[in-house]
Structure 1
């Protein structure tokens, strides 16, 4: 199930979402959000590496996410791009010895970064690797993400929980969050990638956006998995086909800002 319910006045919902967007889609509301790490990097080759690190660590408590991302980037030095392309797996493992972020350890982080360096050396950039997986008749970006995942995880060493597999049932929230950061370009998302359009993006579905999707009637499913992410994305596409994740950042402020809660959204679907 996706899209708007027939008995809902579309314009009223659009007006509500646009009001939230105008108020909260601002850099002033980014902190605390791992997206803030990308703003320091004008060079796209650096930003896409920083974005990958920040997105892959974006699970758990936000304070720990920011602490872990800052620690990793500090160890990578002034050029994360140079770090991943010139370091060996052994030296990366030594650099991140003792690192821990929830389920992930230093060896898994090293595997992720070494895989990223191998991809950049082979394809020229992480963007080019994603582009190599695109198909002309694509309905979504899942095949391209699966290609990127496969290239990043080649070899015996695994990044574990740091990198979700698009080929499984997971909503892959962090990968879609990474795409939002790298593809959309406005006062919040820094963008830079041109291989895909904002219209092709999927909602980075977590528990919070799952609740939003259910409340707005875009899905009735109880699991925040890939199928649900597709349904919620279809719902937002019915409102903004050229940019279905337009409202993602501002709506996630509902779970952060004390003056905002779900009651500001129209109740389209009552959960059983």
Structure 2
């Protein structure tokens, strides 16, 4: 397959999957139930945090999280009392439990009260063509207060060779300007050109079959390789191809 053929093929798949119907079966539907910027970004961050495993289970548990937060996540984060946190204890999604969720509430309040919110902290440390350092710095600030050691594993660190799939997906949701109204594009201080593809087993396997990725492990080095390949296809919006890679892998078993 020539470069032109590959680009045309993937562009067609982007158009096929990057449309409102995608929302119906994807965890992104959870933040789509909100309209306030802070509600969208907090619900999106929490949903992305538990986005591994069965997609139906992810969606159901993310919705359950929102119910526990009174369907007003920003208000809960900012105004919760210690007694309000007790009702979060029964929550569990795989290895993310109620203690982790409580820690996330406390750390998120710290981010909004002391670092001017999620968008500000990611944009502060952004590099010209990458947000991977921003993810590293965000994790550092997220856990710079007293915290449970066990909860640190739920935010990946690219500088420790993680592909950081879930948080890169969250950043795609927040930053990417999407004419199809799937991604939100509400963080105007950042550019889609800085995003990295949410690399997982599906997108990684498809990328290898298409010759976009040679590294066998789905780690930070593989992400860097895939980023470079996708930027040759579209330097301004490289992660739109996440829709093509994911759709081919999950829906077409490519």
Q: TM-score category by the smaller chain? A: over 0.9
- CA RMSD between the two structures: 1.6
Question: CA offset at residue 82 of structure 1?
Answer: 1.0
CA contact (8 A) 1:93 1:106 kept: no
Where 1:191 maps in the other structure, the secondary structure is coil
Partner Cα separation in structure 2 for residue 171 and residue 194 of structure 1: 24
> Aligned residue for 2:166?
174
> Aligned residue for 1:208?
202
Q: What stretches of structure 2 of length at least 5 have no aligned partner?
A: none
Which one has a larger percent helix, Structure 1 or Structure 2? 2
Question: CA offset at residue 92 of structure 1?
Answer: 5.3
Q: Which has the larger radius of gyration?
A: 1
Greater relative contact order (CA < 8 Å, ≥ 6 in sequence): 1
Where 1:217 maps in the other structure, the secondary structure is coil
> Aligned residue for 1:12?
5
1:160-210 C-alpha deviation (Å, 9 max, x unpaired): 433222331110000100000000122211120012110110011001111
Q: What stretches of structure 1 of length at least 5 have no aligned partner?
A: 1-7, 263-272
Answering whether residue 128 of structure 2 is matched by residue 129 of structure 1, we say: no
Would the alpha carbon gap of residues 171 and 26 (structure 1) be closer, same or farther in structure 2, given more than 3 Å must change?
Answer: same
Where 2:159 maps in the other structure, the secondary structure is coil
- Residue number among 97, 100, 104 corresponding to 1:112 in the alignment: 104
Would the alpha carbon gap of residues 234 and 213 (structure 1) be closer, same or farther in structure 2, given more than 3 Å must change?
Answer: same
The TM-score with structure 2 as length reference comes to 0.92
Partner Cα separation in structure 2 for residue 53 and residue 184 of structure 1: 18
Partner Cα separation in structure 1 for residue 43 and residue 249 of structure 2: 25
1:26-74 C-alpha deviation (Å, 9 max, x unpaired): 1112232111112122221111111101110101111211121011001
> Aligned residue for 1:153?
143
Aligned pair count reads 250
Partner Cα separation in structure 2 for residue 249 and residue 95 of structure 1: 36
Would the alpha carbon gap of residues 222 and 92 (structure 1) be closer, same or farther in structure 2, given more than 3 Å must change?
Answer: farther
CA contact (8 A) 1:169 1:225 kept: yes
1:129-180 C-alpha deviation (Å, 9 max, x unpaired): 1122235xx4521211111111112233232433222331110000100000
Structure-to-structure mapping, 1:1-272, within 5 angstroms: 8-88=1-81, 90-91=82-83, 93-135=85-127, 138-158=128-148, 159-186=151-178, 187=180, 188-257=182-251, 260-262=252-254
Partner Cα separation in structure 2 for residue 110 and residue 100 of structure 1: 12
> Aligned residue for 1:269?
none
Partner Cα separation in structure 2 for residue 91 and residue 162 of structure 1: 24
| Runs of 4+, deviation exceeding 4 Å | none
The TM-score with structure 1 as length reference comes to 0.86
